[in-house]
Chain A
């Protein structure tokens, strides 16, 4: 895959990278958008066949960085325990493996690292987590698996248009807290250790998104239970999550979600996509309105 990162102070524009990819019908494998009052950070991954598209985007906009080929490694299920993202950040920090993005969905925590770190990452995971032997080391060749299936069962693939994007349901989780962190991996680890519950506790998180800003500097967002965070300037938020069955075919999901919120003038603070799931963080009290706004573009069973 290839990774694109963007830092921009133009928070009024409707995220040109997402728009450009949506118009070209190019799907993002995973993505993250952290929006603040004066700027936003974007992180997204495309399949490697879109390398030229990524290079063009970077050439046209100096805010966009495109470092080259990356690998996405996913750990699941996390069962919302702090241990999984906490151990991952500590593991990567102590091993000196830089990452571009770390993002969670309801079941998965995915990390994007440069492709040259792929084997090291798998070894680190094998040494750190108790993995079933059937899971690792298993590297999925996206196109290869699908083309083999299509040859045998051509009827399993479809091309279709629908008025609304189908989902498994839109869930709103209200009155949680958003904790922002900004800095190097050491600072992230220190903040996590001092402000968050011990990793051995039963406390849970609802969303994690850590985006590489530049070099060793990261912007991190954690959505957690209000009681989980020790003193600080956290923000009360609502979290909306949904996922659809064929995210791999759905180039327009993120853009549609952002447009739906924008039409109803609902600001979002964080948008994160991993696997087939999308999470949107909105100010506290706006979750139900955001759910209604999303129903204009998405359909739940």
Chain B
């Protein structure tokens, strides 16, 4: 039987962390959790997850900075990062200029509110 991949879910909304974790566990992944950027970096260095689901707007250290730190560290840069961005493209009127996750160092991004099935597909693509 293949080894269960470890996914780190990082968001300062504990309810979202719980919802994403339950879905990942149902898909047979192991899940670690962190609730801000500083805690996320600690967990990443300790546990070396296969993939990090990373929120952007978080206290103490935001997701962009966490992503930059991961990708600039030779020992961590192979960890896939999926950013949870703030606003969906489908919003009708917006003053938001979408910061495309792909122009950052992240491997993928998904807009909030996230579709959990879509997130599972993204995770599966990067973990296969």
Q: Is A155 an interface residue (CB 8 A)?
A: yes
Q: Is B127 an interface residue (CB 8 A)?
A: no
Task: Pick from A76, A132, A134, A155: contact of B97, CB below 8 A.
Answer: A155
> A149-185 CB contact bits vs B (8 Å, 1 = yes)?
1001101111111110011110000000000000000
Enumerate A95-122 residues with CB–CB distance to B below 8 Å: 105-108
B59 and A145 form a contact (CB under 8 A)? yes
A161 and B92 form a contact (CB under 8 A)? yes
Main SS class of interface, B:
loop
- The residues of B that contact A276 with a CB separation of less than 8 Å are 13, 15-16
Task: Pick from B33, B38, B60, B91: contact of A162, CB below 8 A.
Answer: B91
Q: Is B120 an interface residue (CB 8 A)?
A: no
Q: Shortest distance in angstroms between A249's beta carbon and chain B's nearest beta carbon?
A: 10
Evaluate whether A149 and B114 lie within 8 angstroms (CB atoms) in the complex, with A159-B95, A160-B94 already known.
no
> A130-145 CB contact bits vs B (8 Å, 1 = yes)?
0010110010100001
Main SS class of interface, A:
loop
Report the Cα distance A268→B60, complex, angstroms: 38
Interface size class of A (residues with CB under 8 A): 35 or more
Number of interface residues of B (CB under 8 A): 37
- The residues of B that contact A245 with a CB separation of less than 8 Å are 13, 16, 86, 112-114
B86 and A156 form a contact (CB under 8 A)? yes
Q: Is A230 an interface residue (CB 8 A)?
A: no
Enumerate A7-55 residues with CB–CB distance to B below 8 Å: none
Evaluate whether A158 and B96 lie within 8 angstroms (CB atoms) in the complex, with A301-B114, A301-B115 already known.
yes
Q: Shortest distance in angstroms between B96's beta carbon and chain A's nearest beta carbon?
A: 4
Report the Cα distance A276→B15, complex, angstroms: 7
A162 and B92 form a contact (CB under 8 A)? yes
Q: Shortest distance in angstroms between A98's beta carbon and chain B's nearest beta carbon?
A: 25
12 contacts between A and B (CB under 8 A): A145-B59, A153-B56, A155-B96, A156-B57, A158-B95, A160-B94, A245-B13, A275-B14, A276-B15, A301-B114, A301-B115, A301-B116
